[in-house]
Amino acid sequence: MDLHYMTAHAIHKLLVAREVSAAEVAEAVLARLEAVEPVVRSFVTTTPELTRAAASRADEAIARGERITPLAGIPMALKDNMCTKGVRTTCSSRMLENFIPPYDATVVVRLAEQGSGLIGKLNMDEFAMGSSTENSRFFNTKNPWDLERVPGGSSGGAVAAVAAGQAVFALGSDTGGSIRQPASFCGVVGLKPTYGLVSRYGLVAFASSLDQIGPVTRDVTDCALVLNAIAGHDPMDSTSAGYQPPDYRECLVPDIKGLRIGIPREYFGQGLDPDVERVVREAIGLMEELGAVVDEVSLPHTEYALPAYYIVAPAEASSNLARYDGVGYGFRVEGATDVVSMYMKTRSEGFGQEVKRRIMLGTYALSSGYYDAYYLKALKVRTLIRGDFDQAFKKFDLLASPTSPTVSFKFGERADNPLAMYLSDLCTIPVNMAGIPAISIPCGFSQGLPVGLQLMGKPFGEETILRAAYAYEQATPWHRRRPSLEVQQ
């Protein structure tokens, strides 16, 4: 029994039945982490003591005959842009390499209340800017399915850890596809919730109007369980929605008869790998066989989503990252002769190339004389994109597309071509621009590598997304596939 590869809900059943202890689960996952970390490299920081402490509390509760929560004693990990009190939070940047927050993010508090055990903090593209995790200032995380390929990004460490059995589940953040695209590349489930459903308090901001925290799990049931734990209003977050989320487990029924699914023709155009298209269309065909009503739909402003995103997101990043100046906390260059040179040298040495590129793009777009031409125009385009989705959802319950136009690519393949890298998020960015929810689920393989199916829903339509994803998952074997990692354990 490979405990490290089991789902949270399966482990919970074993714990309740006393067929296994939480301590045994913790040790199995920690042993797996130790065995595969030298080759996968998912973690920036590990916290085995916190994992063991949570397991001990769960076992003690079970021994007392208490009812435990579905996530009690479950080893989990966090993308390293979520604040953890007393545990280093680096954003995989030299700028925050030794930063230890004095408080926990709301999602961290909520998972702690559930009794989950933090196993560590996960590698990412620096400040969540990237699509391959190659922009980490520390090291490259590998795709467990092929160690010569990227895991995707920016939540590459999160998806690699779950795919490799180093954590039962993880939390990532999604600004333009940073949960869903790597989930597609590594064959796991990744959900980007509706903007405002999950608190952003304690998430180190990249683009405040786009960022959203979400679950990375092995199956849809675990996704619903984790979403139950982290969703809901937070008075500490001014962008948190005043919405009372339901119990998402209740929507997990394998029945989608009559569900109306739209296929956006713009997501099946130029740049889409033919074999990825084949796999995704086969998945949509199966959903039709399961009783869904499928038809084509147009989202006419899709072509403008990518350029609009790369105005809005860098502009917000330019503002958010202005706080990293070497004065209050974080990295400060030594030997500066005055304050101005200290600012300049600190930011020049503290930030990596991609972060500096986006700061400059954003600063330019917000500068005098260019604000109306770029930023304001991008906001108007964003409104049109949201209008496309609103119109489509008058006829359809869900929209379906590839998560990524291609499977995972090799390290260095797109490093010198930022535009090619940006195109990795072609199918995911419009979702963030519109603020709607979307999930990526495994739907097959191309060239021996996982392919993801993206399901997009109405605002706060997570129930419908999870229901459809669950029905598809129950009819297919893809979520049970595991990568073959040749390691000594």
User: What is the spatial distance between Cα 216 and Cα 230, in angstroms, rounded to a whole number?
Assistant: 13
- Residues in contact with 406: Cβ distance below 8 Å, sequence separation at least 6, in sequence order: 273, 276, 424
User: What is the spatial distance between Cα 103 and Cα 232, in angstroms, rounded to a whole number?
Assistant: 20
User: What is the spatial distance between Cα 454 and Cα 442, in angstroms, rounded to a whole number?
Assistant: 9
Strand segments, DSSP code E, in 22-87 are 43-46, 75-79
Is-contact 447 278, C-beta < 8 A?
no
User: What is the spatial distance between Cα 76 and Cα 114, in angstroms, rounded to a whole number?
Assistant: 12
Is-contact 410 449, C-beta < 8 A?
no
The identity of residue 479, as a single letter, is: H
H or E element that contains 425: none
Catalytic residue among 92, 93, 116, 154: 154
Active site annotation includes 93: no
User: What is the spatial distance between Cα 41 and Cα 376, in angstroms, rounded to a whole number?
Assistant: 41
Nearest Cα neighbor of 220 from 9, 25, 71, 404 is 9
H or E element that contains 228: helix 220-230
Q: Spell out the SS3 assignment of 103-172.
A: CCCHHHHHHHHCCCEEEEEECCCHHHCCCCCCCCCCCCCCECCECCECCCCCCHHHHHHHHHCCCCEEEE
The dihedrals phi and psi of 315, each to the nearest 5 degrees, come to: -60, -45
Nearest Cα neighbor of 205 from 102, 110, 89, 368 is 89
How far apart, in Å, are the Cα atoms of 110 and each of 199, 247, 274?
Answer: 10, 15, 42
Is-contact 85 48, C-beta < 8 A?
no
User: What is the spatial distance between Cα 444 and Cα 278, in angstroms, rounded to a whole number?
Assistant: 10
Active site annotation includes 79: yes
Active site annotation includes 154: yes
Catalytic residue among 178, 184, 318, 404: 178
DSSP letter at 231 equals B
Q: Which sequence positions are flagged as catalytic?
A: 79, 154, 178
